[in-house]
Structures are given as structure tokens and as C-alpha cells.
Amino acid sequence: MAVLEEDPAPVPAAAADSTSGVSDNEITVEETSFVHTEPPQDGTAPPVVTSDMEVLNDGVKKQVIKEGHGKKPSRFATCFVHYRAWVQGSLHKFEDTWQEQHPIELVLGKEKKEMTGLGVGVSNMRSGERALLHVKWELGYGKEGSFSFPNVPPMADLVYEVELIGFDDVKEGKARSDMTVEERIEAADRRKIEGNEYFKEKKFEEAMQQYEMAIAYMGDDFMFQLFGKYRDMALAVKNPCHLNMAACLIKLKRFDEAIAQCTIVLSEDENNVKALFRRGKARAELGQTESAREDFMKAKKYSPEDREIQRELRSLAEQDKALYQKQKELYKGLFGPRPEPKPKASNFLVLFWRWLVSLIGYLVKLFKRKDE
């Protein structure tokens, strides 16, 4: 079984991340929707935050929910952001990218006018940071508001719950839509490599942020337009990011999310051994024994000599045996020892009739003798 493989340098657009083996320590292949750190609240209202209020300018204040890492994005950086937005007075929620499962792309200094306050807040955040932004109406939807989508009343102060997934300073001011296919694939591959470095350092949250940004470059709208070698090139970067995210999620014991990541890979490549193995691992951890066994057996079909797969199957068999013994002891204790069968009592009526027939026979013989 191979251990985690890292790409030592950016892979050319056409190169695939083709590693052998399926060790759970490995980084590899996949394609999916975004996996994110979901805020603890249900999202119906802004979260309650007790941290200090930081004044960014006259129109924007910030409270940190979760600290980030690294530097802050520079002007014209391409930022990938998840957010929820409410009208401050009524707490009417008018946007939620977490619910839509797609972050937005925000080029700082080139954002839409109604997102000026959001841009100010994001420019003062670090990768992985989550914060609550309080934005005055002048830096939001303005005096007139918006009566289409989103629906925001006039002169409405706003509250944003924001997470900066990450940002890219390499292509200053260049949105994904303005990049060539090769540029997008190369940008995604750079993120994948950075994610692999974080994974080696056991910084799994940071690694996932990089993989998520890589996947953002390979969005559904982009993939839908690709055919032939360009699609193969994109999948060679995108699929490894999904499988790498699954590896991170297993390490973080977020097994349901890991299953979702692997399932996305399998929707593209139903015989992907690594996706089958990792999904089996996650299912086994959740106690979904039969589903896990199905995944491992299918993985074994395509990689029969893989020792890790064989080990997981043996582990499931041992669990089944232990469970059987436990249930056997439990039922034995519940019902006690089996009672010894008692000899059946003779039927009284049968005995009576036998006696009566014998008596009548005896009397008949007795009368015959007297007659003679």
C-alpha cells in the first residue's frame, strides 16, 4: 500500500495525479461540490459573537468568530468567500452561499457597488477566518435598496457572516471567467500542491481550504464546457482534490462529508479504487458495515493484491465475529439455560380405555367358560 504522495512541483496541465495504492494517509483524486466548515448556528439568524468589535472604517465593523492564518489579501486579489447576509433591522436573510454550496468569487477593488462593505471586510480577513461584519447602508444596497434578487429594502444596514476560504494574488484582478483553460487548470494545480504541503504538516483544515479553492477554479459551469483532452486535464487536477479532501475529512472524523466527496469521484469513475477504499473507511467508522464491505470488495476486485484493502476486510470480519459472540452471550443471559425436557405424562383417558377394553375382554372370556 502506498503512502501519501505529494506533487513536488506544479504539474503541467495535461499531467494526471496517478498514484497507486489506497492508504488512508495518501493524497489523491476527485471531483465534488464544496465541503466547508459549517458555522455552528443553523443560519436562520446571525450568530451570537462575543469578541471585540473592530472598526474597519466609518461603514464597516468586524467581530472575529474564528481566527484565520497567513497574510491578508492585497488589492485586486481574487478571493473565494462563503457568506450569509441579513437585513439588520428585520433579520431578513436574503443570501446564503453555504446553502447553495458554492462560494462567490470576489476580486477586491472590482466588486459590485452593493458589495463594497463586504469587500472592505474581506480585505481585512485572513484565509480560513470567519467573521461577523456590520455594514452601513451606504456601503451596501444604498438609498434605493433592491426589489429584485436579492430583496433588500432601502437604506438597510446589513449583517454578514463571512468565511474567507482563501485568495489568489498570482493573477491580479483576473477573474476565473477571464482566464484561459490552461490558466485555470494551472491555478487549481498550484492550490492542490499547497494543500498537499499542509496535509504533510497535519494541518487538515488549511489543506481543505486549498483544495476547495482549487475546485472553485474547476466549477460545474467550466467543466460542462470542456471536452476531450481539456476535460481530462481538468479532471486530473480536480479529482485528486476531492479525494484529498476525503482523506482530510477522515482524519477530522467528519465521515459523512468524506463519503460525499468519494461519491462525487465515483460518479465520474465508478471503479476508482481510492474513492471506494476511502468511502469504505468512512462507512465502517459510522457502523455501516455492509455498505463498507461492498466498497472494499469492489476495490479488491480492481486491486486484488492491495494489503490495506485485505486488512480492512479482515477487520470487518473480526467485528462481525465479535458482534456475534456478544449477541450470543447477551441472549444467553436474557433467557437463561435451556430447561431440560420433562417426560410426557401418560394420557389418562387412553389408559382408562385400555383398562376398560381389557376388563370387557376378560368378562367375555369368563362368560364363555361358564356356558361351556
Give yes or no for residue 208 having a pLDDT over 80: yes
pLDDT in tens, 236-271: 899 999 999 999 999 999 999 999 999 999 998 999
Give yes or no for residue 345 having a pLDDT over 70: no
Question: pLDDT tier at 2 (50, 70, 90 boundaries)?
Answer: very low
Range with lowest mean pLDDT among 23-37, 131-145, 183-197, 234-248 = 23-37
- pLDDT at site 341: 58
- pLDDT at site 171: 55
52 compared with 328, residue with greater pLDDT: 52
Range with lowest mean pLDDT among 73-77, 167-171, 306-310, 356-360 = 167-171
- pLDDT at site 36: 41
What residue ranges define each of the domains in the chain, with the CATH number in brackets? 54-168 (3.10.50.40), 180-303 (1.25.40.10)
CA gap 126, 70 in Å, rounded: 6
- pLDDT at site 26: 46
Tell me the pLDDT of the chain averaged across its residues. Answer: 82
CB 56 within 8 A of CB 123: no
The pLDDT > 70 percentage for the chain reads 81
CA gap 359, 276 in Å, rounded: 83
Q: What is the pTM of this model?
A: 0.62
**Exposure string (b/e) for 165-203, b if CB count within 10 Å is 16 or more?**
bbbbeebeebebeebeeebbbbbbbbbbbbbbebbeeeb
Q: Amino acid letter at 312?
A: E
CA gap 196, 218 in Å, rounded: 18
